């Protein structure tokens, strides 16, 4: 039984729209605001005949310089069952959402023909580790849609109990010394508890001594050996300083060599690693270290690149590949999510803003409204937001709140 019944159809015929009414309409009139109706218990999403999709600031439909927001009809695969399941999941009721979707794809005519409803169910089954149910659903999906079904991802580990806090954002500042151990404690705890992926920012490292370089190399080596999915960010300054130290040979310190080799493993640069490993063995008369790259080494955020505005307008997807991506993790909740604050900071000096949502666990309704408002505000400044890797249940929540389908892109493997 749906949580939010359909509204009765109006008996009077709607007035015939003017041909230019889309261009003159005020887009803010139907825009949900974070914290306005988002948390109201009386929210009842009506199911219009075609749904509403706002496409004027979608990167597929328009360039980042376009200001007019056009409102067109199209449901982007949403249906009443999926909408209600999304709201259940957003409020923390994952089991109820999964049950509703499972019943919907079996018996609800609209859910049966909605690929997104099926994909959202696949998503929830993957998150809870229900492989047998996932594979049974895959057989039904192939028969229903005559296309390949999603495959089980062994690298996604379901929670085994109460979730520890997510890794989130971890940074280290100043000169790396033995005293930096205090700053690295948060990272060591995240590795030991094997919590969700952490982002480790090295931009504020100004210098290092031998003890500090050894210390950081040891922590990164521990994460790598435990296959912890750590995302290293903004290593350029530290890497240049290490290059200068390595050129001095033994005088540069063995710690600098070890940290340099460790960063090459995390970058997935085997050719450079092999060359440096041989040089290290000759310089210090020891056996060379072996190549043992970490998990997700190729998925960490790329370094900052300047994206010319003309290039972004002509090929926004290519421009996004050349830009640094902003990785979101954890739960996006409340009227002022930390992830949205990071997006606003990230927008400074950029035309195209790729946001990696592959590690987002959940977006509640108020948080989704905050995301919508932030994207709308950013794109009114002639910038463009692109969302990569959002899983189906997350994508459905953002579609429901009004973010157009043109904002979503598949994350490259």
How confident is the model at residue 101, as a pLDDT?
A: 96
What average pLDDT does the structure give for the chain? 76
Q: What is the pLDDT of residues 349-404, one digit of tens each?
A: 889 999 999 999 999 999 999 999 999 999 999 999 999 999 999 999 999 999 99
Is 237 in the same domain as 329? no
325 within domain boundaries: yes
- Report the relative pairing of strands 52-54 and 71-73 from DSSP bridges: antiparallel
Regarding whether 282 and 172 lie in a shared domain, the answer is yes
Share of the chain above pLDDT 70, in %: 70
pLDDT score recorded for residue 164: 38
Q: Which two tokens stand for residue 205?
A: 């490292």
Reported as a pLDDT band with limits 50, 70 and 90, residue 152 is very high
First to last CA, the chain: 38
Could you tell me if 267 and 357 lie in one domain? Answer: no
In this prediction, residue 199 carries a pLDDT of 73
Cα–Cα distance, 369 to 363 (Å, whole number): 10
Q: Do 227 and 272 fall within a single domain?
A: yes
pLDDT in the model for residue 223: 84
20-25 average pLDDT score: 42
Confidence class for position 195, pLDDT limits 50, 70, 90: low
List, in sequence order, every residue forming a beta bridge with 72; answer none if it has no partner.
53
Tally of structural domains, the chain = 2
pTM for this entry: 0.49
Alpha-carbon gap, residue 256 to 283, rounded angstroms: 13
For position 378, what pLDDT does the model report? 93
Those residues whose C-beta lies under 8 Å from the C-beta of residue 200, and which sit 6 or more positions away, are: 170, 171, 172, 187, 230, 231, 232, 233
CATH number at residue 396: 3.30.750
- Contact predicate 363/398, CB 8 Å: yes
Residue-wise pLDDT for 241-271, tens only, equals 999 999 999 999 999 999 999 999 888 888 8
The answer to which of 42-46, 185-189, 221-225 has the lowest mean pLDDT is 42-46
Query: In this structure, is residue 146 part of a structural domain?
Result: no
Range of the domain at 182: 168-294
Mark which of 235, 264, 294 sits at the end of a domain. Answer: 294
Between CA 213 and CA 218 the distance in angstroms is 9
| Secondary structure string (H, E, C) spanning 204-236 | CEEEECHHHHHHHHHHHHHHHHCCCCCEEECCH
Q: Which of 218-227, 292-301, 352-361 has the lowest mean pLDDT?
A: 292-301
Q: Which residues 6+ apart lie within 8 Å of 28 measured at CB?
A: none
Greatest mean pLDDT among 2-6, 50-54, 390-394: 390-394
- Residues 236 and 268 occupy one common structural domain: yes
């Amino acid at each position: 039984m749906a949580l939010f019944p359909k509204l009765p159809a109006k008996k009077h015929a709607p007035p015939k729209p003017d041909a230019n009414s889309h261009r003159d309409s005020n887009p803010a009139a139907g825009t949900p605001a974070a914290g306005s109706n988002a948390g109201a218990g009386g929210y009842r999403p009506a199911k219009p005949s075609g749904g509403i999709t706002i496409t004027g600031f979608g990167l597929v439909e328009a360039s980042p310089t376009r200001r007019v927001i056009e409102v067109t009809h199209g449901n982007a695969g949403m249906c009443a069952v999926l909408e209600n399941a999304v709201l259940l999941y957003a409020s923390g009721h994952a089991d109820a959402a999964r049950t509703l979707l499972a019943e919907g794809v079996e018996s609800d005519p609209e859910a049966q023909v909605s690929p997104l409803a099926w994909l959202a169910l696949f998503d929830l089954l993957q998150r809870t580790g229900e492989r047998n149910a996932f594979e049974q659903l895959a057989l039904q999906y192939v028969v229903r849609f005559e296309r390949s079904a999603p495959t089980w991802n062994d690298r996604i580990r379901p929670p085994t109990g109460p979730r520890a806090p997510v890794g989130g954002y971890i940074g280290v500042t100043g000169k790396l010394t033995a005293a930096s151990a205090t700053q690295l404690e948060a990272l060591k705890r995240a590795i030991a508890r094997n919590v969700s992926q952490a982002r480790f920012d090295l931009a504020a490292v100004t210098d290092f001594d031998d003890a500090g370089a050894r210390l950081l190399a040891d922590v990164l080596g521990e994460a790598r050996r435990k296959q912890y999915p750590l995302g290293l960010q903004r290593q350029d300054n530290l890497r240049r300083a290490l290059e200068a130290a390595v050129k001095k040979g033994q005088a540069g310190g063995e710690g600098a060599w070890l940290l340099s080799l460790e960063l090459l493993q995390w970058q997935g640069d085997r050719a450079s690693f092999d060359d440096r490993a041989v040089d290290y063995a000759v310089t210090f008369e020891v056996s060379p270290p072996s190549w043992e790259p970490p998990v997700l080494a190729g998925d960490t955020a790329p370094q900052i690149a300047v994206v010319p505005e003309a290039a972004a307008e002509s090929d926004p997807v290519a421009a996004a590949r050349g830009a640094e991506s902003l990785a979101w993790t954890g739960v996006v909740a409340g009227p002022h999510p930390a992830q949205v604050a990071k997006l606003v900071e990230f927008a400074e000096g950029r035309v195209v803003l790729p946001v990696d949502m592959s590690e987002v666990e959940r977006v509640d309704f108020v948080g989704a409204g905050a995301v919508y408002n932030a994207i709308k505000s950013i794109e009114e400044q002639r910038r463009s937001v692109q969302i990569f890797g959002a899983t189906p249940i997350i994508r459905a929540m953002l579609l429901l709140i009004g973010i157009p389908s043109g904002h979503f892109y598949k994350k490259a493997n």
